[in-house]
């Protein structure tokens, strides 16, 4: 799209501009005249064909995300309307939609990918020009003109059709083609079901709160280009002023933020950007529509750019366009809308810092993008709010205040649900709440099985805000405190003093209960905003966690000092993540002991007890020399990583992450071997992956000999309830028998046995 534009600049003649404006105002008139959606579409194809001097004009709109349908035509056979369909990528029309780029050819039938559709009678038309109808990167359809004469359309004609397509996109958004008044009213009113992916378990009911409210452009067509240009220029001035003020204000503490603002300033001052928008206005668009047209082009390009740096800069430009739109429409982030009660945040994506700022106010989060391991997911997990990711198109559908149900367990979202769906959902939430109340009565009781075996249940945490759960859940301590979040939410490395303060507050809040601090597990996919991204083919197995800590020890040592200072006079427990061989643990441990020595020398108070442990997250460590098991004060199995490496199944890849059962015989026997090695060395062993919070899995781990489990706080009740009802000795016999019988997974045998227990 850009290429075509660049070649034409700046010679769009006044006459063409006038023609274009005339067409756009006629389009606007069709919008203003009451009519059924189909009538409008028919009128529009007629108008465009007439104005462009082509025999054919057709509008194809998406029926579903992968199917386009011919919705109106001037010049093709009328019987084909609503009959002719094609898949994304199929034929020339499908190609335009898929690539979001125009196709312009004088000889369509010999063009690669041409699909002959006899029902349309289009074989007699040689030349073809198709442009995408899209709004802010959202594909809505394709606008096509065709003619018999064998000729390529000029760049000016391509540009003119793009401007028309932009107006059609806005009209689609305004509901102009769904029908008359009652259909207009129906837009954004129907129940819609979104199937995304599970980001964090749990269910909630609430009302939509859009992180970035949609800007509605009520009028895509400008009456007078000079007025529109003046409005645009004033808005750009305003924007420049606010960026300059932010830069000059001195409140930008860190370099990364500064760089973003510099990039904003560069774009805001870019002549090319402004000039393109002015040309769009000359063609008849309103100032808002011109900004949106540029923004749509940026988003379409963003999809094609693999380079993360360039994508980030385009993201900056996208943000800037948003700001400009808000200035023009007066629809700020503070649109005056009040955050509803029980807000469910809906966003394309969100940074960890922004999400934390909303904090526990939120009942749930739904994102269009995101991955299981994204920073936002890490924060949502820490906040223990249901999260659904990859709910595509939800920001387009949802309006502030819409009722919404989020089912994090299934990765499903119901927007504006039917009453019956809402009622069933409420039952589910009520049952979960009733169960939590039941579990609350167990809070002060130990997790002792009927055979007398006691299992320590601890909780996972990552924020100061998690600590109240220590009391509420009945956890015996924090079995895993993930320290990444404090690094992820800032745009700079946190300072030692800040960290020491935070860790001290955590220990204070734990009130003598044990807290296991895991040193920074970062790198590769969990890239810190201020860390140079490493281009690694396989990040999960790349330069991460302890590998970064040992190769570039500065940050790790600073963190260790912060921990030592926080724990002065109190016990301190530190664990190193992702240890793959004994020597890594020995080296990390020595680094900590060196820091202890340093602290002693400078006269700082030391922790009165120090435990140093390792996370067993790679199968190799299970086969480490005995000296490792003897040296470690404790070992914690990071089951999420261990399982992914044991089965070679990426924990973030939806296609394989659930493929292998945790209760698979080979995995359970492997756990049994680790238990055995720790037992020989008298080294305490715990399990802190997500599986520890799944009651049946937790029960089996305990039966295999694990005596400490660490899980999210909400799981402690259900796990404790189950443990207290059964004999782990009996369960072990069931597992052993199943294993001996040659099954793949012990799950069926365990479930059958459980069904016979008084639970
Ligand atoms: C694990 O891998 O099981 C673990 C607890 O660590 P994380 O999920 O943070 O990688
Ligand atoms: Mg891990």
Report the interhelical angle of 155-173 vs 14-32 (nearest 10°): 20
Question: How close is the Cα of 552 to the center of ligand 1, in Å?
Answer: 22
Question: How close is the Cα of 484 to the center of ligand 1, in Å?
Answer: 11
Q: Give the ligand with the smallest distance to the CA of 579.
A: 2
How many whole angstroms separate alpha carbon 5 and alpha carbon 158?
A: 9
Which CATH number fits the domain 225-331, given the four candidates 1.10.274.10, 3.60.21.10, 1.10.10.10, 1.10.1040.10? 1.10.274.10
Q: What is the DSSP string of 422-467?
A: HHHHHHHHHHHHHHHHHHHTTTTS-EE-TTS-EEEEEEEE-SGGGT
pLDDT, average across residues 482-492:
81
User: Looking at the predicted structure, is the pLDDT value of residue 249 above 70?
Assistant: no
Instruction: Supply the pLDDT for residue 232.
Output: 93
User: Looking at the predicted structure, is the pLDDT value of residue 183 above 50?
Assistant: no
Angle at 151 between CA 149 and CA 155, to 5 degrees: 135
How many whole angstroms separate alpha carbon 201 and alpha carbon 578?
A: 25
Q: Cβ–Cβ contacts within 10 Å for residue 282, how many?
A: 22
Which of 576, 635, 652, 689 most suits a substitution to test ligand 1, by most atoms within 8 Å of the C-beta?
689
SS3 23: helix
Which of 463, 638, 688, 690 most suits a substitution to test ligand 1, by most atoms within 8 Å of the C-beta?
638
Question: How close is the Cα of 459 to the center of ligand 1, in Å?
Answer: 13
Which of 479, 482, 580, 691 most suits a substitution to test ligand 1, by most atoms within 8 Å of the C-beta?
482
Closest atom, ligand 1, to C-alpha of 690: 3
pLDDT, average across residues 36-64:
90
Question: How close is the Cα of 578 to the center of ligand 1, in Å?
Answer: 9
Which of 521, 523, 547, 674 most suits a substitution to test ligand 1, by most atoms within 8 Å of the C-beta?
521
How many whole angstroms separate alpha carbon 363 and alpha carbon 193?
A: 19
Query: Which residues form the pocket of ligand 1, taking CB atoms under 6 Å from any ligand atom?
Result: 480, 482, 521, 617, 638-641, 688-689
Note the CATH architecture for domain 441-533+540-755: Alpha-Beta Barrel (3.20)
Question: How close is the Cα of 749 to the center of ligand 2, in Å?
Answer: 29
pLDDT, average across residues 512-522:
95
**pLDDT tens per residue across span 625-659:** 999 999 999 999 999 999 999 999 998 887 898 89
Residue nearest to atom 4 of ligand 1 (CA): 638
How many whole angstroms separate alpha carbon 685 and alpha carbon 690?
A: 16
Segment (H or E) for 730: helix 728-740
Segment (H or E) for 62: strand 56-64
Q: What is the DSSP string of 295-358?
A: HHHHHHHHHH---HHHHHHHHHHHHHHHHHHHHHH---S--SPPPPSSEEEEES---HHHHHHH
Strands (DSSP E) found in 596-682: 609-616, 634-637
Question: How close is the Cα of 84 to the center of ligand 1, in Å?
Answer: 51
Task: Tell me phi and psi for residue 739, to 5 degrees.
Answer: -60, -40
User: Looking at the predicted structure, is the pLDDT value of residue 749 above 90?
Assistant: yes
Residue 520: partners with Cβ closer than 8 Å, 6 or more residues away: 483, 484, 487, 545, 548, 549, 555, 556, 559, 577
Nearest to 101 by CA among 302, 393, 301: 301
Whether this model's pTM surpasses 0.75: no
Q: Give the ligand with the smallest distance to the CA of 520.
A: 1
**pLDDT tens per residue across span 65-95:** 788 999 999 999 999 999 999 999 999 999 9
How many whole angstroms separate alpha carbon 417 and alpha carbon 406?
A: 11
Closest atom, ligand 1, to C-alpha of 636: 5
Q: Are the CB atoms for 514 and 634 separated by under 8 Å? A: no
Question: How close is the Cα of 343 to the center of ligand 2, in Å?
Answer: 31
Residue nearest to atom 9 of ligand 1 (CA): 482
Residue 45: partners with Cβ closer than 8 Å, 6 or more residues away: 57, 58, 59, 72, 73, 74
Q: Are the CB atoms for 689 and 665 separated by under 8 Å? A: no
Residue in the structure block whose two tokens are 């999400």: 355
Q: Are the CB atoms for 414 and 402 separated by under 8 Å? A: no
Q: How does residue 26 score in pLDDT terms, banded at 50, 70 and 90?
A: confident
Q: Are the CB atoms for 559 and 483 separated by under 8 Å? A: yes
Domain locations in the chain? 11-185, 192-213+341-432, 225-331, 441-533+540-755
Question: How close is the Cα of 739 to the center of ligand 1, in Å?
Answer: 27
Closest atom, ligand 1, to C-alpha of 689: 3
Question: How close is the Cα of 750 to the center of ligand 1, in Å?
Answer: 26
Closest atom, ligand 1, to C-alpha of 637: 3
Residue nearest to atom 6 of ligand 1 (CA): 638
Segment (H or E) for 195: strand 192-195
CA distances from 87 to 42, 65, 196, 396 (A): 23, 9, 22, 22
Closest atom, ligand 1, to C-alpha of 460: 5
Which of 200, 377, 617, 685 most suits a substitution to test ligand 1, by most atoms within 8 Å of the C-beta?
617
Question: How close is the Cα of 356 to the center of ligand 2, in Å?
Answer: 22
Which CATH number fits the domain 11-185, given the four candidates 3.40.50.2000, 3.90.1570.10, 3.30.450.40, 1.10.4160.10? 3.30.450.40
**How many residues can be counted in the chain?**
759
Q: What is the DSSP string of 96-115?
A: HHHHTS-EEES-GGGSTT--
Tokens standing for 88? 């994304």
Residue nearest to atom 8 of ligand 1 (CA): 640
In a 10 Å sphere around its CB, with 0-12 CB exposed, 13-18 middle and 19+ buried, how is residue 619 labelled? middle
**pLDDT tens per residue across span 588-634:** 999 999 999 999 999 999 999 999 999 999 999 999 999 999 999 99
How many whole angstroms separate alpha carbon 150 and alpha carbon 152?
A: 7
Residue nearest to atom 1 of ligand 1 (CA): 638
Question: How close is the Cα of 638 to the center of ligand 1, in Å?
Answer: 5
Q: Pick the more confident residue, 746 or 280.
A: 746
User: Looking at the predicted structure, is the pLDDT value of residue 250 above 60?
Assistant: no
Class of domain 192-213+341-432: alpha beta
Instruction: Supply the pLDDT for residue 215.
Output: 74
């Amino acid at each position: 799209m850009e290429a075509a534009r660049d070649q034409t600049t700046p010679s769009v003649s006044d006459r063409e501009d006038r023609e274009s404006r005339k067409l756009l105002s006629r389009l606007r008139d069709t919008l203003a005249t009451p009519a059924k959606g189909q009538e409008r579409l028919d009128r529009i194809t007629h108008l465009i064909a007439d104005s462009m001097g082509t025999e054919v004009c057709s509008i194809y709109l998406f029926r579903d995300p992968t199917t386009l349908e011919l919705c109106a035509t001037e010049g093709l056979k009328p019987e084909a309307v609503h009959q002719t369909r094609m898949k994304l990528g199929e034929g020339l029309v499908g190609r335009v939609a898929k690539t979001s780029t125009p196709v312009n050819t004088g000889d369509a039938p010999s063009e690669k990918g041409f699909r002959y559709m006899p029902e349309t009678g289009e074989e007699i038309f040689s030349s073809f020009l198709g442009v995408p109808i899209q709004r802010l990167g959202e594909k809505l359809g394709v606008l096509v003109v065709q003619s018999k004469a064998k000729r390529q359309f000029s760049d000016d004609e391509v540009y003119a059709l793009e401007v028309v397509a932009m107006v059609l996109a806005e009209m689609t958004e305004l509901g102009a083609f769904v029908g008359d008044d009652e259909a207009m009213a129906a837009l954004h009113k129907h129940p819609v079901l979104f199937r995304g992916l599970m980001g964090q378990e749990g269910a909630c009911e609430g009302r939509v709160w859009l992180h970035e409210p949609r800007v509605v452009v009520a009028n895509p067509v400008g009456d007078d280009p000079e007025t529109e240009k003046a409005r645009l220029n004033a808005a750009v001035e305003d924007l420049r002023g606010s960026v300059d003020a932010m830069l000059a204000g001195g409140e930008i503490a860190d370099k990364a933020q500064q760089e973003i603002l510099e990039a904003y300033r560069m774009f805001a001052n870019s002549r090319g950007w402004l000039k393109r928008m002015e040309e769009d206005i000359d063609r008849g668009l309103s100032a808002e529509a011109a900004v949106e047209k540029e923004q749509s082009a940026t988003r379409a390009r963003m999809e094609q750019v693999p380079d993360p740096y360039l994508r980030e800069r385009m993201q900056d430009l996208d943000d800037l366009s948003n700001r400009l739109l808000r200035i023009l429409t007066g629809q700020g982030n503070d649109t005056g809308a009040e955050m509803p009660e029980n807000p469910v945040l809906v966003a394309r994506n969100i940074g960890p810092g922004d999400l934390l700022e909303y904090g526990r106010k939120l009942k749930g989060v739904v994102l269009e993008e995101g991955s299981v391991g994204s920073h936002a997911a890490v924060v949502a997990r820490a906040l223990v709010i249901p999260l659904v990711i990859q709910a595509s198109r939800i920001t387009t559908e949802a309006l502030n205040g819409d009722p919404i149900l989020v089912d994090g367990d299934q990765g499903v979202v119901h927007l504006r649900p039917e009453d019956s769906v809402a009622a069933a959902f409420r039952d589910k939430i009520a049952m979960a709440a009733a169960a939590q109340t039941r579990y609350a009565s167990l809070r002060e009781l130990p997790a002792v099985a009927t055979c007398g075996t006691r299992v320590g249940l601890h909780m996972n945490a990552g924020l100061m805000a998690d600590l109240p759960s220590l009391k509420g859940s009945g956890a015996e301590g924090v079995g895993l405190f993930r320290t990444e979040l404090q690094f992820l939410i800032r745009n700079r490395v946190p300072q030692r003093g800040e960290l020491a303060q935070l860790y001290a507050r955590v220990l204070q809040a734990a009130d003598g209960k044990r807290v296991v601090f895991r040193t920074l597990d970062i790198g590769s996919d969990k890239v810190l905003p201020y860390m140079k991204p490493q281009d690694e083919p396989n990040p999960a197995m790349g330069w991460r966690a302890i590998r970064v800590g040992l190769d570039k020890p500065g940050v790790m040592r600073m963190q260790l000092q912060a921990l030592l200072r926080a724990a002065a006079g109190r016990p301190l427990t530190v664990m190193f993540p992702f240890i793959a061989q004994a020597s890594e643990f020995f080296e990390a441990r020595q680094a900590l002991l060196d820091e202890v020595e340093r602290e002693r020398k400078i006269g700082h108070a030391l922790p009165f007890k120090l435990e140093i442990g390792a996370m067993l997250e790679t199968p190799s460590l299970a086969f480490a020399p005995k000296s490792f098991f003897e040296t470690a004060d404790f070992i914690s199995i990071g089951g999420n990583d261990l399982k992914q490496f044991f089965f070679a199944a990426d924990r973030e890849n939806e296609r394989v992450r659930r493929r292998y059962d945790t209760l698979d015989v080979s995995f359970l026997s492997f756990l049994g071997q680790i238990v055995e090695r720790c037992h020989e060395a008298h080294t305490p062993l715990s399990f802190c992956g997500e599986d520890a919070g799944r009651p049946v899995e937790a029960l089996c781990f305990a039966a295999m000999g694990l005596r400490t489990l660490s899980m999210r706080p909400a799981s402690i009740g259900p796990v404790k309830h189950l443990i207290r009802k059964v004999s782990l000795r009996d369960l072990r016999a069931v597992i052993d028998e199943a294993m001996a019988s040659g099954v793949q997974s012990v799950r069926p045998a365990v479930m059958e046995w459980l069904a016979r227990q008084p639970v």
